[in-house]
Structure 1
Amino acid sequence: MQATGLPAGWEVRHSNSKNLPYYFNPLTKESKWEPPLDTDSETLKTYMGQYHTANLRTENAGAKDLSGQIRCAHLLVKHRDSRRPASWRQAQITRSKEDAYGIIQDYETRIKNGSTSLGDLATTESDCPSARKRGDLGFFGKGDMQKEFEEASFVLKPGEVSPIVETASGLHIIERLE
């Protein structure tokens, strides 16, 4: 294991097309969005939080037409029945949906009582690669996200935080940014 928590031969690289980190083994030329098996999840979480979390600023949209679009951040907790039960934090997620609910309910309480922000929690606890961007998913419009996620997002006003939302991907808390 190295300081990243990844198995020998693996390293963290940055995707220019998705603006997200990924895992690469230069010997085998294998690349993955989720960490390889035998990764030390806690060490990786610390490393990624220190070296691969973006300091976000609202980007100038330039000439892009954003009418009808909103910008949200989210915190995702996956479980073994999620569509893809793996994440940048864990190669294989084995927790039950009930355990995932307990975890995200704790996060919801902490966000709503003001002891932490969704962005701060997402950085280290979200199972989505957007964790590196404080959960920021960027701008999206109707039809771009899963139905349940979209419905919850579009009723929020900027600055509002949703209750827990369940999708095929897992359990989310969503914050409307713009």
Structure 2
Amino acid sequence: MSSEDTGLPEGWQVRRSNTKNLPYYFHAATKDSRWEPPAGTDTDKLKRYMAQYHSSRSISSAAFSAPEGKIRAAHLLVKHRDSRRPASWREPKITRTYEEAEQLIKRYMDQINSGDVTLSELATTESDCSSASKGGDLGFFAKGDMQKEFEDAAFQLKKGEMSNVVATASGLHLIQRLE
């Protein structure tokens, strides 16, 4: 892929981690690798590229069975400048305020609730979490594996249900229980 296709600066490419099965950014000449896109990235082009080539919306939930005491959920994360790590695969430095993040995630919630788009589809291009490459799918987790606010909301949901906006130290989430 050329840099025009990915939106990455010259010499950078998207690769997939063998251990985490997540995309990361690599510069072959310098051997630099990082989870966040490098400075100078055209984020709109990168979002389109990631949605086309690094989305796994086609993962069938039938391929998974819930381990005892665990649930499976997907989420869409919107970070703000006061998040514990205000950077993501989409933006190397997140500067939006909490209020701006809240408006954005509520707009996403409205789009999902109207049936225009699924949480998985939106998470693929809009989530500030690296799980975006999997449509926001976080896999299975047990109590104690996630931040308390996230976990409390996720475990209260029935299969297929989506939460209201959930605030954690990471940012603002919409959570959908898958299993």
Q: Do both share a fold (TM > 0.5)?
A: yes
Once residues 24 and 59 of structure 2 are traced to their aligned partners in structure 1, the CA distance between those partners, rounded to angstroms, is 19
2:96 corresponds to: 95
1:141 corresponds to: 142
Provide the aligned length of Structure 1 versus Structure 2. 176
RMSD over aligned Cα, in angstroms? Answer: 1.4
CA contact (8 A) 1:10 1:25 kept: yes
Once residues 56 and 102 of structure 1 are traced to their aligned partners in structure 2, the CA distance between those partners, rounded to angstroms, is 30
Letter matched to residue 175 of structure 1: Q
2:55 corresponds to: 53
Letter matched to residue 174 of structure 1: I
Q: Are 1:20 and 2:9 an aligned pair? A: no
1:79 corresponds to: 80
Once residues 59 and 10 of structure 1 are traced to their aligned partners in structure 2, the CA distance between those partners, rounded to angstroms, is 36
Once residues 24 and 66 of structure 1 are traced to their aligned partners in structure 2, the CA distance between those partners, rounded to angstroms, is 35
Correspondence for 1:29 among 23, 28, 31: 31
1:67 corresponds to: 68
Name the structure with the higher helix share: 2
Offset at 1:61? Answer: 5.0
Offset at 1:49? Answer: 0.8
Letter matched to residue 56 of structure 1: I
Once residues 38 and 98 of structure 2 are traced to their aligned partners in structure 1, the CA distance between those partners, rounded to angstroms, is 23
Cα deviation digits, residues 62-104 of structure 1 (max 9, x gap): 8xx8100000000000111111111111111111111000000
2:133 corresponds to: 132
Q: Are 1:159 and 2:169 an aligned pair? A: no
Once residues 93 and 26 of structure 1 are traced to their aligned partners in structure 2, the CA distance between those partners, rounded to angstroms, is 26
Once residues 36 and 107 of structure 1 are traced to their aligned partners in structure 2, the CA distance between those partners, rounded to angstroms, is 26
Once residues 135 and 61 of structure 1 are traced to their aligned partners in structure 2, the CA distance between those partners, rounded to angstroms, is 16
CA contact (8 A) 1:45 1:89 kept: yes
Once residues 10 and 59 of structure 1 are traced to their aligned partners in structure 2, the CA distance between those partners, rounded to angstroms, is 36
Structure 1 residue runs without a partner (length 5+): none
2:122 corresponds to: 121
Letter matched to residue 57 of structure 1: S
When normalised by structure 2's length, the TM-score is: 0.94
